[in-house]
Each structure stands twice: as structure tokens, then as C-alpha cells.
Amino acid sequence: MAPPAKIRALLPPTQAEATSTKIADLEARGLIAPEAAAGLEAVAARYAVAVTPTMLGLIDREDPQDPIRAQFIPQTLELVQTPQESADPIDDAAFSPLPGLVHRYEDRVLLKVVSACPVYCRFCFRREMVGPGGEALVGDHLDQALEYIRARPQIFEVILTGGDPFMVSPRRARDLTQALAAIAHVKVLRWHTRVPVVAPERVREDFVQALRAEGVATWVAIHANHPREFTPAAQEAIGRMREAGISLVSQSVLLRGVNDRLDVLQELMRGFVALGVKPYYLHHPDLAPGTGHFRLPIAKGQELMRGLRRTLTGLAQPTYVLDVPGGAFKAPLDLPYVQESAAGLQLLDGTGHWHDYKG
């Protein structure tokens, strides 16, 4: 979706412009009302704040319901915590044999390479762990993680995450890539990142080249939640990765007030496909503290998914998933398109009608 004209006038941000990390700065930019600032300091004291120039430039300042604002500008609602919410909502800790490493599924591990992100999303499921100045996976901890992977031939895929792993320098990205590619049984490196849309200037040619290595396929899962996030600079960053032969998939979070409408989700998923990015996951928000205002009923998400199934090319279909608290698995949440009937089976068509199938 092209941004409204009054927003486009604010683009492009100059790269010299800094990321906003302070309530006072957001107030000075007119994104926080002076009377709200004091209350929001308590939010900022608890959860990291950062909004990149690219995202600042996308916010329609006259719209209090702006979907970009909702994702990055703190709200006092974040101080409301429900009993179901948890600091580690998907129980990474229980599946972490070593610092910075999570091994939940036999054939793949997560490596948390940095704790910093370019932005701090207000709905983040790791919001208690991410932030500036946190630990990076370097030195002995990195060596131990690599040794763990080397010793387990069943590990086929390494997923680089964080924080946002695209926050590392091109040199560190290359060192990580080369070290992992040197392990014969590791065939796939997958980076999960929000950088290509929120800080596309970081995805320079040298960084992209650093992600490639002989003997491994590099995949990048790009996190975007609203079609307006596909700025020209983001499109170019994604194009550079495609041209380098990197396989691209998407990751989005279904968020109240951001993308909980069929037309917005359609445009988001089509936006990915048009850029050569295969929609992969649409996450139901995890039970992270202070994020209740973003969660919608799963039944509503299922209805939106049926809408996508009815209207979009198969290429544009994500899987709607929930990480089950306790950390056991990612549960697909889609409603079934097949049900048992007295005659055999019934199949649901695109208009909402069930058809008997006897086979």
C-alpha cells in the first residue's frame, strides 16, 4: 500500500537521522503528548524503546490509530500484566542447554547471536530479554555453541535469531556463516530479522555477501506486519538479498490495531509475494507481559485466515501458528477444510460451502 501523501512527504528519512530511544525524543517529535510523557517513562524503564528513522517517517502523526505507531510507540497499557502472561512465554529457558542456544526440535537449533534490535516492537515475545547493551554470543559461549552443533549430526539447520541477528557487523556475519558452514551436517542457515524493513540501510552488499557460503543454503525470514512497511528502501534491500541467491520467507504477527483486517493482511501477503518472499508464518501473539491489547481471539484469526484462503493465490498463504506455552511445539491454528461426515468426507470450498467426497 502506498503511504498516504501526507506521510510520503516525510520520506525518505536521511540516514544521518538517529533512532529515537527516549520518551523525551518521541515527545519532541510530536509522537507522544506532553501529558502522557511522565506515565510512559515507567514503560520505558521496564521495556526498551527504539524507533528507526525509516519507521518514524512512516507514522501518520495525525492518526492516533496509525498501525506503525501502534507497533513501536510505547503505551501505558504495557504496564497491565495478566496472570497468563509470562516473561518467557514459550519457555525457551527449558530448552536451552547452553547460553545463547535453544534446542527444541531435534533437527534444528536457535542461536541467539545478539540481544539488540533496530526497533523494539511493543508486542515482542522476547521483550524481557531483548534490549541494548545485552550480551552477544561471542568468545567461549560461541565456541561452546558451535561445539554443541558439531557434536550432533542430527542438526540440519541453524536458525540465527536474537534480538535481531542483522544487527551484527558484516565481519561478524561472515565469521558466523563460515563457522557454521564448516560443519558438514549443517545444510541450512536461517536468519530471522526485522532489519530489511525497519533499517534497510544496514542490508548493504557486503553484509549480504557475508551471509553466503559454499555448502549451505542461506534463508532469511523477514518480519513485517503492515504493507506500508514495504518502503522503496526495504524493497531494494530485499532485492539485494534475492540477487545474491538467498531464499526468502516471511514472518508476521497478527496484531489488533495493526493488521487484524482482511484487506490489510491481503495487501501484506501480496506485498511479500510481489517481492519474491514466500509467506511462511502468521503468528498469534505470544503471552508476553503487557501485550494483551494486541491479542485478538483465535477465532477471529481463524476467520481472517479463511478469508485469505478464499481470496489469495496459494503462494500468498501463510500458516497461522501459536507457540504453545510450555514450549512443546508450534501449533497450526487454521480451521479444518476437511471434516468427516456420515457419507465419508466433506471439503470446504472458497465460498464457504461444504462438498461431499466419497473416495
- Annotated catalytic residue 330: yes
- Annotated catalytic residue 270: no
- Annotated catalytic residue 117: yes
- Annotated catalytic residue 127: no
Which residue number places its CB atom closest to ligand PLP?
Answer: 104
- Annotated catalytic residue 150: no
- Annotated catalytic residue 286: yes
Interacting residues toward ligand PLP by CB under 6 A: 102, 104-105, 108, 110, 159, 330
> Binding residues for ligand SF4, how many (CB under 6 A)?
11
User: Would you mind telling me the total number of residues written for the chain in this entry?
Assistant: 359
- Annotated catalytic residue 46: no
158 binds, among ligand PLP, ligand SF4, none (CB under 5 to 8 A by kind): none
In the chain, helix, strand, coil percent, each to 5? 35, 20, 45
Kindly state the DSSP code that residue 20 receives in the 8-state scheme. Answer: B
- Annotated catalytic residue 356: no
User: How far apart (Å, rounded) are the C-alpha atoms in residues 25 and 31?
Assistant: 9
126 binds, among ligand PLP, ligand SF4, none (CB under 5 to 8 A by kind): ligand SF4
Catalytic residue among 69, 124, 174, 228: 124
* Residue 130 engages ligand SF4 in binding (rule: CB under 6 A): yes
3 binds, among ligand PLP, ligand SF4, none (CB under 5 to 8 A by kind): none
* Residues in contact with ligand SF4, shown as a per-residue x/- string from 141 to 170 under the rule CB under 6 A: ----------------------xx------
The one among 124, 189, 264, 268 contacting ligand SF4 by CB under 6 A: 124
As given in the structure block, the three cell numbers for residue 77 are 497499557
Binding segment for ligand SF4 among 35-43, 112-120, 225-233, 335-343 (CB under 6 A)?
Answer: 112-120
User: How far apart (Å, rounded) are the C-alpha atoms in residues 155 and 86?
Assistant: 29
Q: Are strands 319-323 and 330-332 parallel, antiparallel or unpaired?
A: antiparallel
As given in the structure block, the three cell numbers for residue 287 are 503471552
Closest CB to ligand PLP among residues 105, 354: 105
110 binds, among ligand SF4, ligand PLP, none (CB under 5 to 8 A by kind): ligand PLP
List phi, psi (to 5°) of 189: -115, 125
| Residue 306, SS3 per DSSP | helix
Stretch 194-223 residues interacting with ligand SF4 (CB under 6 A): 194, 223
- Paired strand residues for 355: 347
Catalytic residue among 117, 122, 174, 190: 117
Listed in sequence order, the DSSP H helices in 199-297 are 205-210, 232-243, 262-274
Question: CB-side exposure of 165: number of CA atoms within 13 Å?
Answer: 31
Residue 140's contacts (CB-CB under 8 Å, 6 or more residues apart) are none
Closest CB to ligand PLP among residues 106, 205: 106
* Residue 287 engages ligand SF4 in binding (rule: CB under 6 A): no
Buried b (16+ CB within 10 A) or exposed e, 271-281: bbbebebbbbb
- Annotated catalytic residue 105: yes
What is the nearest approach in angstroms of ligand SF4 to the Cβ of residue 163?
Answer: 6
Please return the burial class of 66, using the count of CB atoms within 10 Å of its CB with bins 0-12, 13-18 and 19+. buried
- Annotated catalytic residue 124: yes
Q: What angle do CA 221, 47, 272 make, to 5 degrees?
A: 20
As given in the structure block, the three cell numbers for residue 258 are 495493526
State the residues that interact with ligand SF4 by CB under 6 A: 117, 119-121, 124, 126, 130, 163-164, 194, 223
Which residues belong to the active site?
A: 104-105, 108, 117, 121, 124, 126, 286, 323, 330
